[in-house]
Amino acid sequence: MNRFGASIDASLLTFCLYAPVAQAANGSVINGWGTSARGYAGAGVALAEDAMTIANNPAGLVGLKGRGIQLGATLIKTKQTFEAGEFPPPAGPLPPGAMPLTPGTRYSDPDVPAEIGGVFPVPFAAANWRLSPRHAVGLAVYGNGGTNINYKDFDNPNCPPGSTGRGILCSGETGSDIAQAFIAPAYAYQPNRWLRLGITPLLVIQSFEIRGLGAFAPLSSDSDKLTNNGHDIALGYGVKAGLQAQLLDSLALGITLQSRIDIEEHDKYAGLIAEQGDLDGAPYFQIGLAWDATQRLTLLADVQRHYFSKVRGYANEGVSTGRYGDDDGPGFGWRDVPVYKIGLRYRASDRWVFRAGYADNEYPVTPDNALANFLSNAVFEEHYALGLTWSPGPRNSFDVTVNYNPPQRNFGPNPFYPQQTIQQTNRIYTLDLAWTRHF
The per-residue pLDDT of the chain, averaged, comes to 86
* % of the chain surpassing 70 pLDDT: 90
Q: What is the pTM of this model?
A: 0.86
Give 103's pLDDT tier (boundaries 50, 70, 90): confident
Q: What is the mean pLDDT of residues 251-273?
A: 96
Q: Indicate if the pLDDT at residue 20 is higher than 60.
A: no
Distance CA 331, CA 337 (A): 17
Q: Where are the domains of the chain?
A: 3-88+106-438
Check residues 314 and 24 and name the one with the higher pLDDT: 314
Q: Indicate if the pLDDT at residue 160 is higher than 90.
A: no
- pLDDT tens digit sequence for 173-228: 888 888 889 999 999 999 999 999 999 999 999 999 999 888 888 889 999 999 99
- pLDDT tens digit sequence for 308-357: 999 999 899 888 889 999 999 998 888 888 999 999 999 999 999 999 99
Q: What is the mean pLDDT of residues 65-89?
A: 89
Distance CA 90, CA 93 (A): 7
Residues 6+ apart with CB under 8 A from 52: 33, 34, 35, 36, 37, 70, 72, 124, 126, 140, 142, 434
- pLDDT tens digit sequence for 382-429: 899 999 999 999 999 999 999 998 888 888 888 888 888 988 888 888
Residues 6+ apart with CB under 8 A from 35: 50, 52, 72, 387, 389, 399, 400, 401, 432, 433, 434
Give 110's pLDDT tier (boundaries 50, 70, 90): low
DSSP string for residues in 82-99: EEE---PPPSSSPPTT--
Please give the angle made by the CA atoms of 15, 235 and 141, to the nearest 5 degrees: 25
CB-CB contact of 300 with 44 (8 Å): yes
Q: Indicate if the pLDDT at residue 61 is higher than 80.
A: yes
Where are any strands of DSSP class E within 17-157? 25-26, 29-30, 67-84, 104-107, 120-132, 135-144, 149-151
Per CATH, the number for 3-88+106-438 is 2.40.160.60
DSSP string for residues in 399-435: EEEEEE---EEEEEEETTEEEEEEEEEEEEEEEEEEE
